Amino acid sequence: MEISNVNSNPFVTSAKVEEEDEKEVKEEQTGEEEVQNPLEKGKSDSVEISKSSSVLTEDEVQDTVERYIQDKIASAPPEVAAKLAQYLATFDVTKFIRDNGDMSMAELYAVLYNKTADYE
pLDDT value at residue 58: 93
Upper half-sphere CA count for residue 36 (Cβ side, 13 Å): 6
The mean pLDDT value for 87-107 works out to 93
The domain limits of the chain are 10-41, 58-119
pLDDT value of residue 35: 56
Looking at residue 34, its pLDDT comes to 53
pLDDT of residue 104: 92
Q: Which amino acid is at 112?
A: L
Cα 31 to Cα 25: distance, rounded to the nearest angstrom: 10
**Each residue of 45-85: pLDDT tens digit?**
565 555 556 899 999 999 999 999 999 999 999 999 999 99
DSSP of 8-68: S-HHHHHHHHHHHHHHHHHHHHHHHHHHH-TTTTT----------SPPPPHHHHHHHHHHH
Closest CA to 120 of 74, 86, 72: 72
Structure pTM?
A: 0.55
pLDDT, tens digit, 9 for 90 and up, residues 15-52: 666 777 777 766 666 655 555 565 666 666 565 555 55
